[in-house]
Amino acid sequence: MNKKTVKDIEVKGKKVLVRCDFNVPQDENGNITDNRRIVSSLPTIKYLLENGAKVILCSHLGRPKGEVKKEFSLAPVAKELSKQLGIEVKLAEDVIGESAKSLTSNLKEGEVVLLENVRFDAREEKNDPEMARELASLAEIYVNDAFGTSHRAHASTAGVADYLPAVSGFLIEKEIDFMGNALENPKRPLVAILGGKKVSDKIGVINSLLEKVDTLMIGGAMAYTFFKTQGYEVGNSICELDKLDLALELMEKAKQKGVKLMLPVDTKLGKEFDKDTESKTVKCTEIPEGWEGFDIGEETIKLYKEELKKAKTVVWNGPLGLFEFDQFAIGSNEIAKTLAEIDAITIVGGGDCAAAVEKAGVADKLTHVSTGGGASLEFLEGKKLPGIECLQDRA
The answer to whether the CB of 89 falls within 8 A of the CB of 120 is no
Sheet containing 166-168: give its strands across. 89-91, 112-114, 54-58, 15-19, 141-144, 166-168
Q: Is 374 in the active site?
A: yes
Instruction: Look up 351 and say whether it is catalytic.
Output: yes
> Distances in Å between the alpha carbon of 357 and those of 62, 94, 361, 377?
22, 36, 6, 17
8 A C-beta contact, residue 245 and residue 225: no
Name the active-site residue from 3, 37, 54, 152. 37
Single out the catalytic residue among 197, 374, 382, 383.
374
**Cα separation of 74 and 59, whole Å?**
8
Cα of first residue to Cα of last residue in the chain, in angstroms, is: 12
Question: 30: closest CA among 85, 79, 96?
Answer: 79
Q: How far is CA 44 from the centre of its chain?
A: 19
Which residue among 198, 312, 337, 359 is the active-site one?
A: 198
CA 16/CA 9 separation, integer angstroms: 11
What's the number of CA atoms in the CB half-sphere (13 Å) around residue 168? 25
DSSP string, 269-319: EESSSSTT--EEEEETT-PPTT-EEEEE-HHHHHHHHHHHTT-SEEEEES-
Catalytic residue among 351, 372, 373, 387: 351
Question: Taking CA 229 as the corner, what is the angle to CA 227 and CA 232, rounded to the nearest 5 degrees?
Answer: 50
Please name the amino acid found at residue 42: L
Concerning whether 66 is annotated as a catalytic residue, the answer is no
Listed residue (112, 115, 88) closest to 101, CA to CA: 115
Q: How far apart are CA 375 and CA 210, in angstroms?
A: 19
CA 360 vs CA 269, 314, 315, 355: distances in Å: 21, 17, 17, 9
Could you confirm whether 359 is annotated as catalytic? no
Q: Exposure of 234 by Cβ count < 10 A (0-12 exposed, 13-18 middle, 19+ buried)?
A: buried
Catalytic center residues: 37, 198, 351, 374
